[in-house]
Structure 1
Amino acid sequence: MVLRNHTICYEIAKSLEKGRNLGQEIRRRISSLKVVWKKDRKLDEAIEQDKRYKLCARVVKEVLNEPGQVIPLRYLEKRRERLRLNFKAKSFVEMNPSLFDIYYDRIKPKSEPVPFIRPTPRLRAFLDHEQRIYADNEPLIVSKLCKLLMMAKDKVISADKLVHVKRDFGFPNDFLVKLVQRYPNYFRLTGLPEQGKSFLELVDWNPDFAKSAIEQRAEEETLRTGVRVRPNFDVKLPSGFFLRKEMREWTRDWLEQDYISPYEDASHLDQASKEMEKRTVGLVHELLSLSLLKRLPVPILGKFCDEFRFSNAFSSVFTRHSGIFYLSLKGGIKTAVLREAYREDELVDRDPLLAIKDNFLRLLEEGWQERKDKLKQQREQVHKDREILLVAKTKQPEEPDRLCD
């Protein structure tokens, strides 16, 4: 009997050891698959085009957060480094005449007047229109927020983290206040907001929201063709990009596996398994699909490792699956881009909330054109003044030579 028990224990230990070795072998095989990173100039250009827009948006946000939404120009000058302004604040205001007006006021009652800046009427009109766009697209915003919570572990996400990514997903500034009040059937704030430890919790699961972009696409193709289409990733390797035979075989086998929805419970999956890799790629794909520009900085995704059960090495999926994602290094920060969402440097399927960005860009371009026209008029006026002076000088009669006494 004792011998039998020892035998059973030995077999169990051997089985566990075999399982550990298998897990280590799978982890080794996946981690050893290396793909050479290749620059994609068009996708890099799409990111580069947003630099000026983002800078202007940061400065506008800084002014709007001030009491009365006005600020002394010299105070803004002191914040240049934080705002990443590489020229003087006054120059920025002059270069963007559609954003701010300069006026003079006193900082203290008896102090000398100094230049202040305030939003122009055109910027005020843009902000009013922005609120109307948010109101018109509120169902979309609610569905996005629900989807983020539905994919998260325990259906809870830190409120601070959600505030940090609100611009990436198109959430309004006051979404935690207004949406939670309007939709108590979906959302509940818990924790201690005054101590910065609040969390947004999903109250009710809506099955209509529990469909990923990949599953929706498969359903649409099935309805259109009449042939059942299996949900899977759209893999498009960039021009001139080749995979080694080992990686091609691994990718083929990996794609043949069943798609795992990011809305399914993944708590039973091993972090080193192919299934978990499939789920991680699917979840990142869905996060990028929900974002406004179909791209997100990798450090921002990294903030949600705990909520979405990402491993510490989750960022390797962006290079290992180069036909699905592109990892841009533009601007000194890693950005994960969804390849299928772009045709060269243009978004294919635009989020309705991008109308806000489009309106802001039109406002900026209007101001840039005004400044350009003003500078052109000034140059033309200087040229005219020079011509008038030259004509006047040539018409002056020459003084007769004086005779010596």
Structure 2
Amino acid sequence: MRFNPSFITRQPSSTISTLEACIQFRALISSLKVAWRKDLKLDQAIQNDKRWRLCARVVKEVLNEPGQVIALRYLEKRRERLRLPIKVQTFLSWNPGLFETYMDRIRPKSDLVPFIRPSNRLKEFLEEEKRIYSENEPLVVSKLCKLLMMSKHRVLSADKLVEVKREFGFPNDFLVNLIPKYPDYFKLVGAPGEGKTYIQLVSWNSDYAKSVIEQRADEESRLTGIRIRPYFNWKLPPGFCIKKEMREWVRDWLEMPYISPYEDVSHLQPSSREMEKRNVGVFHELLSLSIYRRVPVPSLGKFCEDYRFSNAFSSVFTRHSGLFYMSLKGGIETAMLREAYKGDELIDRDPLLQIKDKFVELLNEGYRERAEEMKLKTAA
């Protein structure tokens, strides 16, 4: 008999109860295993960012210091926390253009020791970063609204959002400077500094209540003149395969109506296949809102209660391997949206990626200068 979990919902109510259906669905879906397989190209996408992210961590560390200066030896003591595999002095020589080194005293009358501070070029980049954030502020506002609109009670912990600000492209000062600018959208409630501060959605914006999936269907409908229903672009990469039983399950599951991540799903049973469809939609939307179309799984796990995910939510990324890939690169599980990548390159680039591009330009300029200096020394 062909496996098809949809038979559960076609039984008369007198034959099977909702609770029994949920139990059967959970048992059936848990029996369908999809082996994790490495995707070298998507892993490479993460590897490509390794060097500039390391530099960004060091820059952030210095910028967070009073006066944006720090003694070289103090920064050296933080190498382990920064995951810096080389000495700070070596890092500085390999990445010229980021900082200036100068001599100063840690205390009055103490000996002069090396300090570092942002270079003029880094200061110029920081000004450029502000400009890019300013130009894309409506995008940042829409992302924040969408995150709140998908949540169970239209409210999220400020601390959790601060932890994922890099993934979604929120500026460092968004709590202080962005939230108060939009009182029609956001309200900061709770006790600041005590881990009990929340951002609450003030008003529902119907313009934001359309997922990427729904927008794509609308665009296809407009171009073809035929009404296209929202659907997932489920496609395994070359060389990947799943068992026949799982292929049939996926086919039937894909035929189910799409459930928008912005719909109220309080009436759905947690273990129902409808909730599975909805949860996949939420993950798809969250990854689509992220800058790199990928988010560390532990970061997503912080929002289990807010978005109604189960504690075993990460199995979704392997079960629906035609939509997602879970990379283990760097010892961190990272959920990635397959359709967003061609090889190891992003297809649809977030406008906020300009910031990363400008930072990489700054680094490359320093690398070129260092190469020229090494060439001159070799020639001499």
- Do the two structures share a fold, i.e. TM-score over 0.5? yes
Any idea what SS the aligned residue of 1:209 has? coil
Q: Trace 1:195-344 onto structure 2 (pairs within 5 A).
A: 195-344=194-343
1:76 aligns with 2:68: no
Q: Match for residue 187 of structure 1?
A: 186
* Distance in 2 (alpha carbons) for counterparts of 1:308 and 1:243: 29
Q: Match for residue 137 of structure 1?
A: 136
Shift of 1:58: 0.4
Any idea what SS the aligned residue of 2:314 has? helix
Any idea what SS the aligned residue of 1:145 has? helix
* Distance in 1 (alpha carbons) for counterparts of 2:353 and 2:171: 13
Q: Which amino acid aligns with 1:41?
A: L
* Distance in 1 (alpha carbons) for counterparts of 2:45 and 2:274: 32
Q: Which amino acid aligns with 2:216?
A: R
Q: CA RMSD in A?
A: 1.2
* Distance in 1 (alpha carbons) for counterparts of 2:286 and 2:331: 22
Q: Match for residue 400 of structure 1?
A: none
Shift of 1:74: 0.2
Q: 1:158-197, CA deviations, whole angstroms, 9 ceiling, x for partnerless residues?
A: 0000000111111101111112211000000001013121
Shift of 1:18: 4.2
Q: 1:230-263, CA deviations, whole angstroms, 9 ceiling, x for partnerless residues?
A: 1010011011111211101110110000000000
Any idea what SS the aligned residue of 2:326 has? strand
Q: Which runs of no fewer than 5 residues in structure 1 stay unpaired? A: 1-13, 382-405
Identity of aligned residues (%): 65
* Distance in 1 (alpha carbons) for counterparts of 2:261 and 2:312: 18
Q: Which amino acid aligns with 1:239?
A: P
Q: Match for residue 120 of structure 1?
A: 119
Any idea what SS the aligned residue of 1:240 has? coil
Q: Which amino acid aligns with 1:315?
A: S
Instruction: Sort the Cα spacing of 1:93 and 1:316 in 2 relative to 1 into closer, same or farther, 3 A.
Output: same
Any idea what SS the aligned residue of 2:116 has? strand
* Distance in 1 (alpha carbons) for counterparts of 2:189 and 2:35: 45
Q: 1:1-23, CA deviations, whole angstroms, 9 ceiling, x for partnerless residues?
A: xxxxxxxxxxxxx9798443332
Q: 1:309-365, CA deviations, whole angstroms, 9 ceiling, x for partnerless residues?
A: 100111111000011001111111111110000011110000000000000001011
Q: Which amino acid aligns with 1:250?
A: W
* Distance in 2 (alpha carbons) for counterparts of 1:352 and 1:110: 50
Q: Match for residue 47 of structure 1?
A: 46
Q: Match for residue 105 of structure 2?
A: 106
Any idea what SS the aligned residue of 2:207 has? helix
* Distance in 1 (alpha carbons) for counterparts of 2:200 and 2:346: 32
Q: Match for residue 34 of structure 1?
A: 33
Q: Which runs of no fewer than 5 residues in structure 2 stay unpaired? A: 1-12
Shift of 1:67: 0.5
Any idea what SS the aligned residue of 1:207 has? coil
Any idea what SS the aligned residue of 2:115 has? strand
Any idea what SS the aligned residue of 1:204 has? coil
* Distance in 2 (alpha carbons) for counterparts of 1:117 and 1:16: 74
The structure with the larger Rg is 1
Q: 1:261-309, CA deviations, whole angstroms, 9 ceiling, x for partnerless residues?
A: 0000111111111100000000000000000000011010001101111
Q: Which amino acid aligns with 2:75?
A: L
Instruction: Sort the Cα spacing of 1:217 and 1:17 in 2 relative to 1 into closer, same or farther, 3 A.
Output: closer
Any idea what SS the aligned residue of 1:288 has? helix
* Distance in 1 (alpha carbons) for counterparts of 2:204 and 2:15: 37
Q: Which amino acid aligns with 2:70?
A: I
1:347 aligns with 2:346: yes
* Distance in 2 (alpha carbons) for counterparts of 1:298 and 1:322: 15
Q: Which amino acid aligns with 1:53?
A: W
* Distance in 2 (alpha carbons) for counterparts of 1:59 and 1:191: 32
Q: Match for residue 375 of structure 2?
A: 376
Q: Match for residue 172 of structure 1?
A: 171
1:65 aligns with 2:40: no
Q: How many residues align?
A: 368
